[in-house]
Structure 1
Amino acid sequence: MSDTPKTDHAYDGIEEFDNPLPGWWKWLFVASIVFSPFYWMFYHGGASGRSVEDLYNVALAENTRKQFEEIGELKPDEATLASYMNKGSWVKVGQAVFRANCVSCHGREGEGKVGPNLTDEAYKNVANLEDIAKVLINGAGNGAMPKWSNRLHPNEIVLVSAYVATLRGTNVDGGRPPEGRTIAPWPAAPAESDADAESDADPAGDNTDDGK
């Protein structure tokens, strides 16, 4: 017979040993409860860049830098932008770059905050597709839109420009009113070769701008 003391509980003849949880386990449980509200406020309090999704997007962007060797250095010209804005997997990379760098001015969906709405049809500093990349590279608005050429990889410039181009006409609810002028539609994507199609495989493998 065991000498372990028993509780006064008995269920259908089944007795219960009095084996309390160790003190360290109880304090660890208490500490986890005390810690949880701070964890929630930091990661789920709405601060930009702290959510699990935002952290994933940053990690995805970092991983994608390693994938750039497959496509070489992209040129920020109209043909390249028109091509990559129609490559869904690479547009997602541009979206990750955007959400890691541009949401504080343009909003998470491009609806505009301090910076202009990117989802309507009006533009202040853009007259053609290529101008989106030029604004990112050189800045605009006397510094209101900083230049990103010294912070982003050239391919990130192209991909985030392609992503911004895809936002046109989505007209996100609650966005800033149109600013600037309406411009001609984006050009159609150039014909894609078989080699180009293969390069559009999922690049994952398994920024403020006021210059619209």
Structure 2
Amino acid sequence: MSEYSNNDQSQQDELLDHNYDGIQEYDNPIPGWWHLIFLGSMIFAVCYTVVFHLTPIVPSQQERWANSLAAAEEAQFGPLKGMPLGQDKILAVMGNEKWMSAGSSIFKGTCAVCHGDQGQGIEGLGLNLTDDKYVNINSLMDIYNIVKNGSPNKKMPPQAQFGENEIAMVAGYVASLRGENVPGPESQMIGEVIPPFPQPEVSSESDG
């Protein structure tokens, strides 16, 4: 029995005949469970490639991103997203508290640096937006176009980082500032008095 054990041990401890810098290794087989894990990994890799990259079973990463983005826009803009661009869209914003709040946030985060946090204007920068005098503006869509494309005199740059719905929200909020008459620099209270803007049907419902 002892002789058998010694022979078995000598077989397990048999050295392979190759030598690397004086380093040798025993001729011990890889455990069976290791082979199973290796084969399982290979099978999984093939199945993953087929399912996720070669067939339409699972949407691609780009499709999943597009779907997530569309869902986020739907949650943020709701029915506003499907409305055609025009005065009615801005009026819809002005009649919705949720969208007006979003427009206010965008204004205070982007426009206030030149126009003041209340739209009162800042000396040498943005005009007062709370009186009845306007430059290059005669309609609600003029507000939208100036926000999107910048002012004709190039003093206000285009706000290309915002999409159509976000600019519509800002335009609605800016239009709502008219008549607030917040005191500001006299030099920024210029322009011509224009007819009143159309007024929306105010709704407190948070559409979308």
Shorter-chain TM-score bucket reads 0.5 to 0.7
Larger strand share, 1 or 2: 1
Taking a change above 3 Å as real, the CA distance of residues 202 and 83 of structure 1, as seen in their structure-2 partners, is closer
Provide the secondary structure at the position in 1 that maps to 2:200: coil
- TM-score w.r.t. length of structure 2: 0.57
Provide the secondary structure at the position in 1 that maps to 2:165: helix
Which residue of the other structure, out of 191, 199, 206, is the alignment partner of 1:201?
206
Taking the aligned partners of 1:74 and 1:110, their CA distance within structure 2 comes to 27
Moved more, 138-147 or 163-172: 138-147
Provide the secondary structure at the position in 1 that maps to 2:153: helix
The one-letter amino acid of 1:109's match is Q
Provide the secondary structure at the position in 1 that maps to 2:156: coil
Taking the aligned partners of 1:179 and 1:65, their CA distance within structure 2 comes to 37
Larger Cα Rg: Structure 1 or Structure 2? 2
Q: Over residues 133-154 of structure 1, what are the superposed CA-to-partner deviations in whole Å (9 max), with x where a residue is unaligned? A: 0111111133211111x21121
Q: Is the Cα–Cα contact under 8 Å of residues 150 and 158 in structure 2 kept in the other structure?
A: yes
Taking a change above 3 Å as real, the CA distance of residues 135 and 107 of structure 1, as seen in their structure-2 partners, is same
The one-letter amino acid of 1:128's match is S
Structure 1 spans left out of the alignment, 5+ residues: 1-63, 204-212
| Distance apart, 1:76 and its partner CA | 3.7
- The residue number in structure 2 matching 1:70 is 78
Taking the aligned partners of 1:126 and 1:152, their CA distance within structure 2 comes to 20
Poorly superposed stretches of 4+, deviation over 4 Å: none
Taking the aligned partners of 2:147 and 2:75, their CA distance within structure 1 comes to 22
Q: Is the Cα–Cα contact under 8 Å of residues 73 and 155 in structure 1 kept in the other structure?
A: no
Taking the aligned partners of 1:73 and 1:151, their CA distance within structure 2 comes to 20
Taking a change above 3 Å as real, the CA distance of residues 116 and 154 of structure 1, as seen in their structure-2 partners, is same
| Distance apart, 1:83 and its partner CA | 2.2
Larger helix share, 1 or 2: 2
- The residue number in structure 1 matching 2:65 is none
| Distance apart, 1:97 and its partner CA | 0.4
The one-letter amino acid of 1:184's match is P
Taking the aligned partners of 2:119 and 2:75, their CA distance within structure 1 comes to 26
The one-letter amino acid of 1:105's match is C
Taking the aligned partners of 1:79 and 1:73, their CA distance within structure 2 comes to 12
Please say if 1:138 is aligned against 2:146: no
Aligned length: 133
Provide the secondary structure at the position in 2 that maps to 1:98: helix
Q: Is the Cα–Cα contact under 8 Å of residues 97 and 206 in structure 2 kept in the other structure?
A: no
Taking a change above 3 Å as real, the CA distance of residues 161 and 174 of structure 1, as seen in their structure-2 partners, is same
| Distance apart, 1:189 and its partner CA | 2.1
Taking the aligned partners of 1:69 and 1:178, their CA distance within structure 2 comes to 33
Q: Over residues 52-76 of structure 1, what are the superposed CA-to-partner deviations in whole Å (9 max), with x where a residue is unaligned? A: xxxxxxxxxxxx8562352225544
Taking the aligned partners of 2:164 and 2:174, their CA distance within structure 1 comes to 15
Q: Is the Cα–Cα contact under 8 Å of residues 74 and 154 in structure 1 kept in the other structure?
A: no
The one-letter amino acid of 1:165's match is A
Structure 2 spans left out of the alignment, 5+ residues: 1-71
Q: Is the Cα–Cα contact under 8 Å of residues 110 and 119 in structure 1 kept in the other structure?
A: yes
Identical residues among aligned pairs (%): 32
The one-letter amino acid of 2:78's match is E
